A and B are shown apart, each in its own frame.
Chain A
Amino acid sequence: MTLPNATGLALHALGQNKLRSTLTALGIIIGVGSLIALLAIGHGARAQVAARVASLGENVIQVTAGSLGRSAVKLGLGTSLGLSVADAEAIRNEIPAVAAVSPEVKVKSQVVSGNRNWSPDIYGDSTDYFAIRRWAPSAGQIFTEQDERASAKVAVIGQQVVEELFAEDEDPVGQILRIRNVPFTVIGVLAPKGASASGSDQDDSIIVPYTTAMKQLVKKETGLRRIYIQAASLEAVPIVEEKIVRLLRQRHGLEDDGEDDFKVRSQLEIAQSATATARTMTLLLFLIASVSLIVGGIGIMNIMLVSVTERTREIGVRLALGAHRRDILRQFLIEAVLLSALGGFIGVATGAGGAKLLTALAEWPTLISPDAVLVAFVFSALVGIFFGFYPARKASRLDPIEALRYE
């Protein structure tokens, strides 16, 4: 029998039992629908994390200080104060393939402007910071190397800070902010950047020159919170990382078997650890959805077995009138695959609709990738073949004489 004829027969048979066919397909619809929706949620979360990591900048390496207390106890006198500006200078000067370096200190303080006040994150950074983070001002400008050297009392502020401290019709540039009673002139407003890889709001920050922060705000020799380093190229990242470790260990006078009192992480590693969680979640969702798809497949198998038994006589007649076993096999297999593929098709539509609805109602980020749609569709067809094969084979192996006699 030709394939179009066999498909025609299968459609005819499915059409004769519309309710049953629909209910059977429903199992697959739910399976594929949840597969699509859950994958969309997983992928959406991953895309969000990836966007946050990308917001860090390009080829960025972060060095953060280890616990000062711990290392002091462990290593005794004369050891490091964590990270120092000198460390940052050394990295800049002694390691080739370093494009930019920004030492960073963090200050927590209330900020006052006129009659309003707010407590954003206050960072002292070098002027390179904006290049490393690829963060340009949307109004005004960033501070210069000269401001840095002169410990100028200038500040570049994030969008959230603007909203909290200034009226809508006010131009923040040129205004004065007071941080720990030190007046700072706002010279620039940063473009909105959204959440960071760790989820904090990056727009809720004020950036001042690190020299100013240390002299005017911290007022004592303190360790740096971290050092941002930008490698010249993606290929250079691992080499630069390795060299930083060696340089800092040497500078901090660590013994060969001593632990690092700092931590070096590249953007890639941050991305990996951040997406690992999202990937685990996606995998988990995928497994749940697969289970429901398999349950749907068992439903198909069950109905096909019932159908084969009910239609034993028909099978007998077909065999008697010249059908080959493979014709019967094909007819029932196509029925099963049509059921599951049709269910898959509707499932993709409902799943995609459900994901859109989730985004609209719960504001969950969802992403329907063509891959997921293809996987779901192929998977549902495979479920049809897998669970349809046994009933179809059973039908094709019937003895025509027995089948004709079946009541």
Chain B
Amino acid sequence: MDPLIRLEDVGRTYRLGAARVAALRNVSLRIGHGEFVAILGASGSGKSTLMNLLGCLDRPTVGRYLLEGIDVSKLHHDALADIRNQRIGFVFQNFNLLPRTSALRNVEMPMLYAATPIRARARRRRAAEALALVGLDSRSDHHANQLSGGEHQRVAIARSIVNNPSLLLADEPTGNLDSRTSAEIMSLFHSLNQRGITIVMVTHEPDIARYAQRNVFMRDGAILKDTPVLERLDSHAELRRWRTAEAAESTLAQTA
């Protein structure tokens, strides 16, 4: 069976005036179905460029990229849009929800762009299911600006999975969140991963990367090392620890 992601000697160069800048050089990478991979690196290491390529938002200058066996390196932008819509879910650092729009409508959005139109009733049902999966079924009528940061990201995750993608790409998903909410999001990722969704996450925080199974380190547009995580953090256990601590705190506050 083909791996989910197969990069073969991929390079990406940008033109900056007369100069050519190589953002990625000779990157080969395989990610199998069901993996949870974190891509780490400093800014300028090429991890964002890699992410854009993996998300079919960009095309490699050289080399091949096969997603589920399909060579997407030379596809037309409309075909790439369909692949993003059907096979890839995106989670961003700044959530990128539509303001003044309800959580439900935000989650419905990718279904509007499905190649075969989905009826309004089915869209609402599936969006509600996705919101239930991230634990926000009670807040589906709330507008984005009435939600907390963690809830924002959970709506965004519901949106990313509503079309049942095989790949979930997360770009610094916890970059704007505190560590307790980060644990929540990681726990959610963990659950989704257990349900079979492959997750590739870009981060510069080593702590967050320890929730993944495998860490890919980037430097100067190339892969520096690619290692499995030995002491993997259990996000569910982390979350439980936070909750116990909070419970103890509130009991303490009550007795005092």
Interface residues of A (CB under 8 A from B): 1-2, 5, 9, 12, 16, 313-314, 316-325, 327, 400-401, 404
Contacts and interface: CB of A to CB of B under 8 A. Distances in A.
Contact of A324 (B98, B109, B113, B163): B113
B137 interface: no
Contacts of A322: 81-82, 84-86, 110, 113-114, 163
A328 to B, nearest CB: 10
A322 B82 CA distance: 6
B112 A1 contact: yes
Contacts of A1: 112-113, 117
B117 A324 contact: no
Interface string B35-73: 000000000000000001001011000000000000000
Contacts of B82: 322
Contacts of A325: 77-78
B145 to A, nearest CB: 12
A318 B109 contact: yes
B81 A2 contact: no
B189 interface: no
A404 B109 contact: no
Nearest to B163: A322
Contact of A5 (B81, B90, B112): B112
B178 to A, nearest CB: 23
Interface in B87-106: 90, 92, 96, 98, 100-101
A401 B113 contact: no
Nearest to B94: A313
Q: Which A-B residue pairs are the 10 nearest by beta carbons?
A: A322-B85, A322-B113, A321-B110, A317-B96, A323-B113, A322-B84, A2-B117, A324-B78, A324-B81, A400-B57
B90 A321 contact: yes
A318 B81 CA distance: 10
Chain B interface size, as a band, is 20 to 34
A322 B85 CA distance: 4
Given A1-B113, A16-B100, A401 B52 contact: yes
Nearest to A405: B48
Given A2-B117, A12-B101, A321 B52 contact: no
A16 B117 CA distance: 25
Most buried by A among B77, B100, B112: B112
B92 A404 contact: yes
18 contacts: A1-B112, A2-B117, A313-B96, A317-B109, A320-B55, A320-B84, A320-B90, A321-B110, A321-B159, A322-B84, A322-B110, A322-B163, A323-B113, A324-B78, A401-B52, A401-B57, A401-B58, A404-B96
Most buried by A among B52, B57, B117: B57
Given A314-B98, A322-B81, 16 more contacts: A1-B117, A12-B101, A317-B92, A318-B109, A318-B113, A320-B90, A321-B90, A321-B159, A322-B85, A322-B113, A322-B163, A323-B81, A323-B113, A324-B78, A325-B78, A404-B92
Most buried by B among A2, A12, A320, A324: A320
Interface string B136-161: 00000000000000000000000100
Interface of B: 52, 55, 57-58, 77-78, 81-82, 84-86, 90, 92, 96, 98, 100-101, 109-110, 112-114, 117, 159, 163
A321 B98 contact: no
A321 B85 contact: yes
Contacts of A320: 55, 57, 84, 90
A186 B55 CA distance: 100
Contacts of A2: 117
B95 to A, nearest CB: 10
B113 A327 contact: yes
Most buried by B among A319, A322, A404: A322
Nearest to B114: A322
Contacts of A323: 81, 112-113
Contacts of A16: 100
Contacts of B85: 321-322
Nearest to B78: A324
B127 to A, nearest CB: 13
Contacts of A321: 84-85, 90, 109-110, 113, 159
Contacts of B77: 324-325
A320 B96 CA distance: 11
Contacts of A316: 96
A9 B109 CA distance: 10
Nearest to A407: B94
Nearest to B84: A322
A323 B82 CA distance: 8
Nearest to B113: A322
Contacts of B81: 319, 322-324
A322 B159 CA distance: 12
A323 B80 CA distance: 10
Contacts of B114: 322
Most buried by A among B58, B98, B110: B98
A403 to B, nearest CB: 10
Nearest to A317: B96
Contacts of B98: 314, 317
Contacts of B96: 313, 316-317, 404
Nearest to A313: B96
Nearest to B109: A321
A316 B113 CA distance: 14
Nearest to B95: A317
